[in-house]
Structure formats: structure tokens, C-alpha cells
């Protein structure tokens, strides 16, 4: 395909106000000006090679904002098709690539077969510790709040609304999972927690209206989080664009887990104007208790979102849907896939290009694109409340803690680890025994 792009058009489409043109780009400019295809091809190879060596994705360059460089690459045949001398050579090549695809598929199946997504062993203990002080505050304040302020009928209405809030937050979970999550956060059933919380909120003149507002917030939590999970659609055209999408998904999940307050927590607030305006009725302890109730609801939202990912992840594992679409359904599952699999499995979405002219340039570009994704994926696995048990020592997952070092030592000696041993090791590390 000859160079059909006009020189002035090329210069206009690759213009940047802030960045000077490099020597290699000027060589491309000159080749386009005189319409010299071999020279343009050679100059493009050099320009792309410079980007790869600098760990930059040339597809994201300011020179390729509207795809001008990609168009020129096609016109000069930079990524040439594979030519075969005979039918035997073509068949050998296709059989070799079929074998590679098979091995990649088997590697993914071997990695995930028999595995499941679950909350980390430390999850319930940490959650209970986080909740304890807030639950203690609610219980202590509830005893003094009973009979003060609102009538019993209004307190009953508030309790009913609190149960509605909790049911709305956990509504997209299986009943057993929802019950487990509620107990982990509140230490009791939704109904019992509501009975304790209702008198406290009832003291506040505007308490009833506030809880009704919380019901509306809770009803949007599931759908809001579902919309967020699909805000970044993984593109299948350019692999590095897919990596960029994945990076945004992982980054979004990291921010959600690192922050104490997100979309829902802004709405689940207690120290609003209405409460502070209640003066005498809304004393310091009452306001503090209402804040504790709001914080517990925030924690429930975060845990419920993770519980949904556990459920979605296990569905994917059972169905053996092992591809990059995992990230939208269960980001943590996709992260394990990214950090453990070989680069070639992850980045080579079009294995047919292997062996074509300059295919190494494209492979190098994808290797650059995936580095930050692997780093973010590893961070999310480390910070997440959920995990894939049995992969703690895998590449990209292993954390060099004292506990993990001791566990690896036991394994290296061939002792194995019985169900009791991990608990004993953990107790020794913590100094409990």
C-alpha cells in the first residue's frame, strides 16, 4: 500500500504545541514529504523503537492522537503479514501457534481449577474489631435514649426503616451470605440492631426524616456500584487500550478500599444541620452514637460490595471464563490472572501476528503497557479483603511477612501444613503462645 497521506496533512495531524519534533520523527516527516516508502518505514521503526526503550506506548503519543501514525504504519507495511515459502511451512506455523494457544489455555485452567474466591482469614476478626467500639457506643447510648424524645410508635417506624436500609444494602447477596455479612458488621441480626439504634435516632427531632433519606441512599448503592463496574468497557481492538481500561478498573477498586468514605458514606452522614439544630436533645453522646450507626452502615456497604465480588468471582471460576472480561465482574480475580500468568499469555491477544515483520516492536510496546497494570494488580491483591486461598506464595501475590516466611520454611522442609499449623504459627508470630 503506497503512502497516500499528504505531507501537509501529516504535519497537521502530528502537530503538538508543547513538544518538539525529535530527530527520528523529522526523518519520518522527510520520507513522507518525498513519498519514499522504504525510508518512511525505516524511520518509523526507529521512532517506535525509541518509545519502547523509554518505556512509552507510541500509540498514546501526542503524534498519534487521531491515529495518524497508525495509518502511516499500515501504508508503508510496517507490521507486514507473514509470507510462507510453501504449504508445509504455513501448516507448521499454524500448528505451532495452535499449540501455544493450547498451552496458554491450560496454564489458566491449571491456575484456577479447584480454586475459589473467599474473604481473607483475617477479615472477620478485623471487621469485628472495627465494629466493636461503635457497637459499644450504640448499646450504651441506647439505654439512656429509651423513652426520651420520640414516641414508641415513631421509634418502631425508625427501626423498620433501619431494617429496610440493611436489606437494601445486602439485597443482591445470597441469603446466607447476607446474614453472614450482617452478623460480621453488627454482631447480631438486622432486626436486633435496628431495635438498639431506633431509640437513639428517635431522640433527634429530624431523626425520622434522616433515616428515610438513608433508605433512599441504600436503595441506590447496589445499582451505583454496578454502574461503576461497567464505567470502563474493556476495548478489544488495541491491547494496550485494554490494559489502560483494566488499570482504571483496578485503580477505582484500590481507591474504594483505601478510602474510609466513598459515594455512599457521603450520603450516610449524621452530623448534618438538622441534627446539630436539635441543641439540647441531640447531646454529644447522642450525636456520637448516630455517627457510629452511620459508620456501621458505611462498613456494611463496603463489605457487601466485596461479598458480591466473591459471589461473582466464584461464578466465573465455576464457568471457567478466564479472560480479561473478568476485571469488570470481579477485579480481584482478574488481578490474580494478571500477576501470575506469563507476560506472553496476558499481552499477546493476537498470536497470529507472531513471526510477521516487526512483530517484536509490537510485543515490546505491549510489555511496556502492562507493567503498571501488574503493579496495581499486586497492590489490590495486597489491600483487598478477599483472596484466592492457596495462591499466597504465587508470583506477584507473595508478601514477605514473618508469618509467610515461616509457612514457606515449613513447606520447604516437607512438613506440610495441617489445618491446625497455620493457627499455631500465627499465634507464635503474634506472641500469643
Complete DSSP assignment for 376-428: HHHHHHHH-SEE-TT-TTSTTT----HHHHHHHHHHHTT----SSHHHHHHHH
The pLDDT, as a whole number, for residue 103 is: 76
Contacts of residue 34, Cβ cutoff 8 Å, sequence gap at least 6: none
The rounded mean pLDDT for the chain is: 76
Read off the pLDDT band of 365 (50, 70, 90): confident
- Sorted by sequence, the CB contacts under 8 Å of residue 311 that are 6+ apart come out as 173, 174, 177
DSSP 235: P
User: Could you give the maximum distance between any two Cα atoms of the chain, in Å?
Assistant: 92
Instruction: Assign 195 a pLDDT band (cuts: 50, 70, 90).
Output: confident
Compute the distance between CA of residue 380 and CA of residue 339 in angstroms, rounded to an integer.
11
Closest by CA to 44, choosing from 85, 5, 4, 75, is: 75
233-247 residue pLDDT tens: 555 556 666 677 677
Distance CA 351, CA 358 (A): 14
pLDDT digits (tens, 9 = 90+) for 331-351: 888 888 888 877 766 665 556
Higher pLDDT, residue 205 or 190 = 190
Give 265's pLDDT tier (boundaries 50, 70, 90). low
pTM of the model: 0.66
Q: Which of 15-24, 46-55, 314-323 has the lowest mean pLDDT?
A: 314-323
Amino acid at each position: 500500500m503506497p503512502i497516500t497521506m499528504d505531507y501537509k496533512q501529516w504535519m497537521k495531524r502530528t502537530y503538538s504545541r508543547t513538544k518538539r519534533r525529535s530527530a527520528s520523527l523529522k526523518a519520518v516527516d522527510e520520507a513522507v514529504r518525498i513519498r519514499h516508502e522504504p525510508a518512511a518505514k525505516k524511520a518509523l521503526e526507529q521512532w517506535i523503537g525509541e518509545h519502547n526503550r523509554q518505556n512509552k506506548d507510541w500509540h498514546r503519543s501526542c503524534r498519534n492522537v487521531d491515529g495518524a501514525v497508525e495509518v502511516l504504519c499500515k501504508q508503508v507495511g510496517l507490521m507486514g503479514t507473514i509470507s510462507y515459502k510453501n504449504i508445509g511451512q504455513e501448516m507448521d506455523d499454524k500448528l505451532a501457534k495452535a499449540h501455544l494457544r493450547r498451552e496458554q489455555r491450560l496454564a489458566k485452567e491449571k491456575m484456577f481449577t479447584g480454586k475459589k474466591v473467599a474473604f481473607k482469614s483475617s477479615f472477620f476478626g478485623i471487621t469485628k474489631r472495627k465494629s466493636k467500639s461503635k457497637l459499644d457506643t450504640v448499646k450504651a447510648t441506647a439505654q439512656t435514649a429509651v423513652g426520651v424524645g420520640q414516641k414508641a410508635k415513631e421509634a418502631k417506624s425508625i427501626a423498620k426503616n433501619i431494617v429496610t436500609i440493611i436489606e437494601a444494602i445486602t439485597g443482591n447477596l445470597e441469603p446466607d451470605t447476607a446474614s453472614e455479612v450482617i452478623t460480621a458488621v453488627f454482631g447480631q441480626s438486622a432486626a436486633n440492631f435496628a431495635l438498639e439504634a431506633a431509640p437513639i435516632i428517635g431522640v433527634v427531632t429530624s431523626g425520622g426524616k434522616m433515616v428515610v433519606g438513608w433508605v433512599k441512599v441504600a436503595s441506590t448503592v447496589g445499582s451505583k456500584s454496578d454502574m461503576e463496574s461497567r464505567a470502563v468497557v474493556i476495548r478489544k481492538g488495541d491491547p494496550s487500550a485494554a490494559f489502560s481500561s483494566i488499570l482504571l478498573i483496578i485503580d477505582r477498586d484500590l481507591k474504594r478500599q483505601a478510602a474510609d468514605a466513598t459515594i455512599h458514606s457521603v450520603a450516610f452522614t449524621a452530623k448534618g444541620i438538622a441534627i446539630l439544630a436539635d441543641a439540647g436533645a441531640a447531646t454529644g453522646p447522642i450525636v456520637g452514637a448516630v455517627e457510629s450507626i452511620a459508620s456501621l452502615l458505611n462498613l456494611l456497604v463496603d463489605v457487601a460490595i466485596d461479598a458480591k465480588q466473591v459471589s461473582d468471582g466464584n461464578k466465573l471460576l465455576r464457568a471457567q471464563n478466564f479472560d480479561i472480561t473478568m476485571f469488570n465482574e470481579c477485579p480481584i480475580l482478574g488481578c490474580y490472572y494478571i500477576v501470575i500468568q506469563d507476560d506472553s499469555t496476558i499481552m499477546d491477544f493476537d498470536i497470529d501476528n507472531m513471526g510477521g515483520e516487526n512483530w517484536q516492536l509490537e510485543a515490546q510496546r505491549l510489555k511496556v503497557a502492562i507493567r503498571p497494570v501488574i503493579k496495581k494488580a499486586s497492590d489490590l491483591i495486597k489491600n483487598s479483603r478477599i483472596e484466592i486461598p492457596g495462591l499466597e506464595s504465587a508470583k506477584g501475590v507473595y508478601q514477605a511477612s514473618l508469618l509467610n516466611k515461616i509457612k514457606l520454611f515449613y513447606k520447604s522442609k516437607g512438613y506440610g501444613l495441617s489445618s491446625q499449623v497455620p493457627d499455631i504459627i500465627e499465634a507464635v508470630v503474634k506472641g500469643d503462645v
